[in-house]
A and B are shown apart, each in its own frame.
Chain A
Amino acid sequence: EAQVTQNPRYLITVTGKKLTVTCSQNMNHEYMSWYRQDPGLGLRQIYYSMNVEVTDKGDVPEGYKVSRKEKRNFPLILESPSPNQTSLYFCASSLYGTPDNYGYTFGSGTRLTVV
């Protein structure tokens, strides 16, 4: 089944403890992206990647890192999480940078709580 898989689905952590949220897609998509979703603010893009070894900042990159060493994986790294990074995170992918008629494929989300 074609899908974007995120792990974990839920995570509670403490301030300052490094964490990684994994994202993997099995559709051979070139483009991958991370969003965070907060009440009243909608989806905001954190980072995106047009292809392997190519990453760019989105609208809210502060406090996050990403890497794209291989096409299928696009992990999101929080080196020193803070409570304001408590949010619902989504990974998305598409064949190319501009989504086609089928839009982006989204993962199921990771709900992160930083205490």
Chain B
Amino acid sequence: SQELEQSPQSLIVQEGKNLTINCTSSKTLYGLYWYKQKYGEGLIFLMMLQKGGEEKSHEKITAKLDEKKQQSSLHITASQPSHAGIYLCGANNDMRFGAGTRLTVKP
């Protein structure tokens, strides 16, 4: 089965700082999803990456899938308190998810 590891597990940043969250797969990905979850609530779809080297942006969030399609990074520029939450990556192969990265943004 696909194993997805996310790092870091949690992250506390000052408002305005940039940050990166990583998602590493044990197998080649057919596609990778990024979701955001506000604490105790449902998951909101952010973006999907399918091609090696693909990069997508949504507002101040950019995600990239590496050429080997085994690692993805999610980068937030100039973080804001509204970015706080849990970020999860999910594999298109079998819709398994990483354990999530809990992001706190201090004003």
Contacts and interface: CB of A to CB of B under 8 A. Distances in A.
Given A41-B99, A42-B98, A42-B99, A99 B42 contact: no
Contact of B99 (A40, A103, A106): A40
Given A90-B42, A109-B41, A103 B90 contact: yes
Interface in B82-107: 88, 90, 92, 95-100
Interface size class of B (residues with CB under 8 A): 20 to 34
26 contacts: A35-B97, A40-B99, A41-B99, A42-B88, A42-B97, A43-B96, A43-B100, A59-B1, A59-B96, A90-B43, A98-B30, A98-B92, A99-B95, A101-B48, A102-B45, A102-B48, A103-B33, A103-B35, A104-B45, A104-B95, A106-B35, A106-B42, A106-B43, A106-B44, A108-B42, A109-B41
B78 to A, nearest CB: 25
Contacts of B1: 59
Contacts of B96: 43, 45, 59
Interface of A: 33, 35, 40-43, 45, 59, 88, 90, 92, 98-99, 101-109, 111
A96 to B, nearest CB: 12
Contacts of A107: 42
Of B30, B43, B45, B90, most A-chain CB atoms within 10 Å: B43
A59 B94 CA distance: 11
Nearest to A91: B42
A45 B95 contact: yes
